[in-house]
Structure 1
Amino acid sequence: MLTYPKINPVIFKIGPFSVRWYGLMYIISFFCCLFLCRYQLKERGRQDLYPFLENLLFYSFIGLVIGARIGFCFFYYPDYYLHHPWEIIAVWEGGMSFHGGLIGAVLVGYIYIKKHRQSFLWWADLIAVTGPVGLFFGRIGNFINGEIYGKPSNLPWAMIFPEGGPVPRHPVQLYECLVTGLFLFLFLWKLRKKDWLPGTKLAIFLISYGILRFLFEFIREPAQSFPLLFGWMTMGQILCIVMIFAGILLLYLVRKKFVQKYF
């Protein structure tokens, strides 16, 4: 068994203001995504799009944070947050939903892109291949917070998490950090130069992450305020099924050229 490194989630505090590692991970993810997207534009000789990219990522990031928090509150703990709505804004304490963040970022990004009469699918492909970078740093933030830990395990690298009781558990945050973060990024990054129909890389990201996250849910300790569907399926898995289906549908519509007119 490994010892869980108890890292103070607060980096520093000045009066009522505190800077947390979890929030810092979001900031790092934003700038990494910006750098990688600028790199792709440079590869394509489209440095003229840098200002548009920066604005797009800024507004999408706001949509991501809002969507991630609202998604966490109402996908996983609707009964609690309906009775404690003032706690919804406490994003600094952790508790963010990837699926909610994805929905928020896509909605805001779509509105901004279409307002400027650009191709949503073209930009979505550009950003999608960098998405796992945010997952990488996000899971590090979860690990530091001691949240989203796994089910009990007797493996030699299992850890006892402060909020997980006295039993060793899977450090599932680190598993996901490596697989859905690092490895998925390396896979998608190799696809960035593929001259496919716009929307194809986004679809591959949705399907790939959806499958991987669905599998990891089997060793993650369920965190929701209502019973599991069929006694075993978590809300995370339900959302992943929707995500996988959306990716497959998008891939089909892209190949049939049904979506170019609207996206």
Structure 2
Amino acid sequence: MPNTLHIPLLAYIPSPPFNGFSVGPFFFHIYGICYVLAAAQAILITRKRWSKRGGDPDLVYGVAWWGFPAGLVGGRIYFDITTPSQMPHHWWGPFAIWDGGMGIWGGVALGAAVGYWYLRKHVGHLQADRFVNVVTPTLLIGQAIGRIGNYFNQELYGKPSKLPWALEISPAHRVPGYAHYATFQPSFLYEMLFDLFWAGVLIWLDNHRKVRPPAIFPLYVAGYSGYRIFEETIRIDYSQYILGMRLNFWVAIIGTIAGLVWFALIQFRRRPGGPAEPPDHPTRAYSQSAQA
């Protein structure tokens, strides 16, 4: 019989060999680089989309200058409050975003609140609401980029798995109690794919003017929270538990319900004594923006 060449199939996603690199005396974490890239894409995409609506593209810089640092602070505060045992045991532990990471809920909440405050102060609530519809999908794209950083940190993985796309985790990064397992559910990958999908859905809705400003944001909250209900059922990293479920499982349920209710209140609001207002017509919605 002729010799047959057997080519082994890739049966898992290999763990990364490093989580950063050095340039002289400085060490650059991939996680931090991903955050910078996430911020950059949000600025570039929002400038382009906002300019097409007749808005001032430079407005994006002001929002980013205030919103992104607030997101860092909010994300770390949420992490410190919900998982204090995971902070480094040093005076700088609460601030070490490269060690333990950040909580997305806190980052989005504080970053969005500060960014919206800036918008209201500079362009008023009507323009601010329309800007929110434009910028919101870039939050999901940024989160997807951030999940690449989770991969290099060997974090955000789920239960042990033998699936062909299971994620290899090196022994030093395995959750206590799971040291004898080598491959796990790649939660970071599932979330990255969902984030990109949901961002595409929100962009489509906004481009077709199906959603009243700023209702794209509550749809983002509801959709992402709905996904996290699933993710929290497969995560095994440390978490506070309430009624036998991870804390963020309950946060995700609350976020899903709140987002849907919030969306309905915006999308179907009524004028006093009148019928429900239709979504803004493209020309009417952005004519004021062009005159600003």
Higher CA-based Rg = 2
In structure 2, how many angstroms separate the alpha carbons of the residues matched to 1:82 and 1:107?
28
2:205 counterpart of 1:191: yes
1:158 touches 1:169 (CA, 8 Å); kept in 2?
A: yes
- 2:63 alignment partner in structure 1: 56
Deviates more, 1:93-102 or 1:239-248: 239-248
Q: Does 1:229 align with 2:235?
A: no
| Structure 1 counterpart of 2:262 | 250
Can you give the 5+ residue segments of structure 2 that lack an aligned partner in the other structure?
1-10, 272-292
Post-superposition Cα deviations, 1:66-114, rounded to whole Å, max 9, x if no partner, equal 1111111112x13565975530111123511110111111221122122
Contact 2:31 2:149 in 1 (8 A): yes
Per the normalisation by structure 1, the TM-score is 0.87
Work out whether 1:40 is the aligned partner of 2:49.
yes
Q: Are residues 182 and 82 of structure 1, via their aligned partners in 2, closer, same or farther at CA, if it must alter by over 3 Å?
A: closer
Is the Cα contact below 8 Å between 1:160 and 1:166 reproduced in 2?
no
What RMSD over aligned residues (CA atoms) do the two structures have, in Å? Answer: 2.1
- 1:235 CA drift (Å): 1.6
CA distance in 2, matches of 1:209, 1:63: 20
What letter is aligned with 1:249? V
Q: Is the 8 A contact 1:69 1:95 kept in 2?
A: yes
- Verify: 1:91 aligned to 2:100, yes or no: no
- Which residue number in structure 1 is paired with residue 283 of structure 2? none
> For residues 78-157 of structure 1, what are the structure 2 equivalents within 5 Å?
78=84, 86-119=92-125, 120-157=128-165
Does the residue aligned with 2:60 lie in a helix, a strand or coil?
helix
Which digits, 9 at most, give the CA deviation of each residue in 1:129-184, with x for residues without a partner? Answer: 222111111111001100111111122222331212231211111111112x2211
Give the number of aligned pairs: 250
Tell me the residue number matched to 1:25.
Answer: 34
Percent of residue pairs bearing the same amino acid type: 27
The 2-side partners of 1:235 and 1:253 are apart by 27
Q: Among residues 224, 230, 246, which one is paired with 1:209 in the alignment?
A: 224
Is the contact made by 1:9 and 1:145 (CA closer than 8 Å) also made in structure 2? yes
CA contact (8 A) 2:12 2:163 kept: no
Q: Write the distance in 2 (CA, Å) between the matches of 1:93 and 1:82.
A: 7
Deviations 1:41-80 (CA, angstroms, capped at 9, x unpaired): 232122xx222211102210011111111111112x1356
- The TM-score, its normalising length taken from structure 2, stands at 0.79
Aligned-pair distance for 1:23?
Answer: 0.5
Structure 1 segments, 4+ long, off by >4 Å, are 79-85
C-alpha separation in 1, matches of 2:91 and 2:120: 33
- Contact kept in structure 2, 1:140 and 1:173, CA below 8 Å: yes
Letter in 1 for 2:17: I
| Structure 1 segments unaligned to the other structure (5+ residues) | 259-263
Give the aligned partner of residue 6 of structure 1.
Answer: 16
How far apart, CA to CA, are the structure 1 residues paired with 2:168 and 2:137?
34
